[in-house]
Amino acid sequence: MGTPLELIKYNADSGTFEVGAPALDTLRKVKGPVAVVAVCGRARQGKSFILNQLLLKSSGGGFQVGATHRPCTKGLWMWSAPQQVTAADGTKHHLVLLDTEGIDAYDQTAQYSTQIFSLAVLLSSMFVYNQMGGIDESALDRLSLVTEMTKHVRVRAAAGSSGGEEGLGEHSPAFLWLLRDFYLQLEEEGGRKITPRDYLETALRPVPGTGPAVAAKNAIRASIAGLFPNRDCFTLVRPMHDEAALTAMDSLPRDKLRPEFQAGVKQLTEMIFARAAPKRFGGMGAMTGPVLAGLVGAYVGAMNAGAVPTIATAWQGVAESECRRGCDAAEAAYTAAWAAGGAVAAEEAELEARHQSCLAAARAAFEDIAVGDEAIKRAHEQRWQASVAARYKDVRGRLLAEAAAAVNELLYKGANEVAAAARGGADLPALQQRLAAFVAGYDKAAAGPTKWVKLAAWLGETWPAVAGQVLDRQAAAARAALEAAQREAAELRTQLAAQRQRAEQAERLHSDASAAAAALQTQLAALQQEAARLRAAGDQKDAKVAALQAQMNEVLLVSERKQASAGELAEARVRAAASEAAAKVAEVTAALTAERARADSLAADGEGLAARCAAAESRLAAREAEADEWRGKYSREAAARVELQGQRDQARDALALAAMERDSAARERDAARAELAAARADLAAEAGAKGAMQSRLDELVAEAQAARAQAFGVSSGGGGNDENAHPDASGGADGPAAVPGGGAGLGRGPLADAGNISGMTVQEIKDALTQAGFMDEVWALTNRKPAPKKADWVDLMRRRAAAAAGQQ
């Protein structure tokens, strides 16, 4: 289903053409190639009926078909539902049908008819000229607007200062001359049958003879043949004999029409469907719906501005517009595809994969819209690719920076947790479990290229520090246990001194009173018991010393495995000193078990033991001092390493900041280059538009001069005083030019004498100013926005006339 839509209408109040927005919206929705079939001809001769047959509207609906003498169609109308057609090669495209206002209607001007005809030819892929009867001289004369069209349409802006049909036929649509109610026999003298195409070619042959009339007839034929190199002819018989029924032919059932007419309509529609192909221009590809909409606006804008429609300029302008729209669509598709993909991990591989996926979506969106030759498409493709590349660089940099910051935060928290566990008394196995749990959580939470590098550096810094803290704490505990053993040994030495004094007292008693042997024996037994008790106490102390020695050996073993440092030598020497002290305690204990007779020996041994203990204590103090010295060196080296690590982190941060600043500068440079390229493109477009307007102005001047030369002939009676005489008849090329409005001549000399300026037309003022050498001012005022009014032209004329009078 569908409905007619007004594509182009004429606004009589403003004197300009207007484009229907609903029709343009419909065209922009047709994405694939489109072929345009336009039916043109005189009013009230059944153009809309033919279009309705193409729409297969046999009874009602479709384009309006009237039964009166007044035209039904004004401007250009299109069907709102383009039909999909399959070509002979299997490709598919849409067919857009255009119904044009009848030419040569009683309420039209010649310029308006030419403009409607030109728009239909410029937009269509196949142009059907509908006519009643055969091709005769009057029919050819009605197509004289083809000659006018070729004067006002150019293929390229550089073709010249005025329109011309050179090369125009290469870009014209296929032409089908449809002859309605045709009753003639197509045969030559002698009865040889000819085809409708032969009939058309015969009619277009030059007429023999000379003279202006023959030249005019041949000019029309040459223009038709030149404008439509791909042409054909088709004939249809009268649909029915009943004149009254013809007025309602569009609403009659198809079986009421003559069979010959029905067969002809079927053959006609098949021909049109087979030959109507999408329009092309150079290497810009087939015309699509958006391109057709852009061409409508371009051609209408050129006509409204009084410029010569230029086919190449219009196609290139539409291609540039569509490519810009394709760029916007590509950037939007890239953004939408990135957002649709959800969150992405800050990993190089995943970011690049997401970028390539979004690039594919953007490229598909651009290719779906962009048209034009490869140079135009490549330039715009580079533009949107640079834009999305800059966007990707920003997003990638932001995500990687956030990932790096998150990694630093995780490592900072992990360092605090491990340090707290070390301060809380955890041993090495517990710290290892805590580190393993942190690494597992870090693997899940952290991301980015620096994830494992920073973790390795963090482990290399954190584990030695916390392990050193644990080992220092265990070494301190071992030293405390050793100091307790030393205190117990001192107590034993005190007890040994007391026993030695008692032995001396016993010896004195033995020398003083040998008679008291029994008492001495009793005392000896008591001393023996005391010695046994002391031996038992010594055994207990030995057990304690052995336990402390075993614990200290275990600590020293762990210390030897985890830290090969200066503490190793100190702990080994402490262990040796402890072993020596234990041996001396054993000797003291053995001395206590000796008999009273060996008291002197026991005392001597006690003194030797004291001397040796003092020496051992001295050596132990020296070893502890040496261990403290090594521990101080280790602490200073650890502090220096921490300071170097801080300097390294500061250097890394400064390097990252410099890289970010470098990337930002590169983005600003790329943006500036893109703006410069866009400005250059705009300047080139403005230069092209200025050249087109200059060409149009030259064309208008040439046309005005030709019109004046045609309107004012050379006077046969001398012409010296005739104010309407041609300039060549009144003094040569430098004589004053006459003003058609009746005023004084406005050539280079008499421009100051312009008393009747208000009675001149705008075109006459333009011609006078141009001939007087003010071409730049005429061009500037012509292109001013908003459009100048006649009062502006009169004011300019008066100012230039006054200036010229002042110079004289």
The pLDDT, as a whole number, for residue 449 is: 72
Alpha helices in 341-373 (DSSP H): 348-369
The pLDDT, as a whole number, for residue 720 is: 40
How many Å apart are CA 413 and CA 407, to the nearest integer? 10
Where is average pLDDT lowest: 249-253, 675-679, 733-737? 733-737
| Interval 387-400: pLDDT, tens | 888 888 888 888 88
Categorise residue 745: left if φ over 0, alpha if ψ from -120 to 50, beta otherwise.
beta
The pLDDT, as a whole number, for residue 96 is: 92
Assess contact for 104 and 113: CB atoms under 8 A. Answer: yes
How many Å apart are CA 251 and CA 52, to the nearest integer? 11
pLDDT score of 366 more than 70: yes
| Interval 712-760: pLDDT, tens | 653 334 444 333 333 333 333 333 333 333 333 333 444 544 557 878 8
b (16+ CB within 10 A) / e for 194-225: eebeebbeebbeeeeeeeeeeeebbebbbbbb
* Rg from Cα positions in the chain: 56
More confident residue, 682 or 19: 19
pLDDT score of 105 more than 70: no
Across residues 267-295, what is the average pLDDT?
A: 82
Across residues 63-88, what is the average pLDDT?
A: 69
**3-state class (DSSP) for residue 337:** helix
| 16-19 vs 126-132, strand pairing mode | unpaired
pLDDT score of 524 more than 90: no
The pLDDT, as a whole number, for residue 480 is: 87
Please enumerate, as own/partner, the contacts of 606-610 that have beta carbons within 8 Å and a separation of 24 or more.
606/493, 606/496, 606/497, 606/500, 609/493, 609/496, 609/584, 610/493
The pLDDT, as a whole number, for residue 126 is: 92
How many Å apart are CA 163 and CA 153, to the nearest integer? 5
* pLDDT class of 577 with cuts at 50, 70, 90: low
In sequence order, what E strands does 111-229 have?
126-132, 174-180
| Interval 763-804: pLDDT, tens | 888 888 888 888 888 888 888 878 888 888 888 888 888 887
pLDDT score of 282 more than 50: yes
Q: Kindly list the structural domains of the chain, giving each domain's residue range(s) and its CATH number in brackets, ordered by start.
A: 4-158+166-309 (3.40.50.300), 320-448 (no CATH), 763-799 (no CATH)
Where is average pLDDT lowest: 89-98, 405-414, 448-457? 448-457
| Interval 111-132: pLDDT, tens | 788 888 888 888 888 999 998 8
The pLDDT, as a whole number, for residue 175 is: 92
| 16-19 vs 83-86, strand pairing mode | unpaired
Across residues 653-665, what is the average pLDDT?
A: 79
In the chain, pLDDT over 90 holds for what percent of residues?
4
| 92-100 vs 34-41, strand pairing mode | parallel
Across residues 601-623, what is the average pLDDT?
A: 70
Residue type at position 227: L
Helix (H) or strand (E) holding 232: strand 231-235
* pLDDT class of 197 with cuts at 50, 70, 90: very high
First-residue to last-residue Cα distance in the chain: 73
Q: What is the pTM of this model?
A: 0.48
Task: Report the chain's mean pLDDT, rounded to a whole number.
Answer: 76
The pLDDT, as a whole number, for residue 408 is: 84
The pLDDT, as a whole number, for residue 153 is: 72
Nearest to 452 by CA among 347, 352, 350, 344: 347
More confident residue, 574 or 400: 400
**3-state class (DSSP) for residue 257:** coil
How many Å apart are CA 137 and CA 140, to the nearest integer? 5
pLDDT score of 462 more than 50: yes
The pLDDT, as a whole number, for residue 731 is: 37
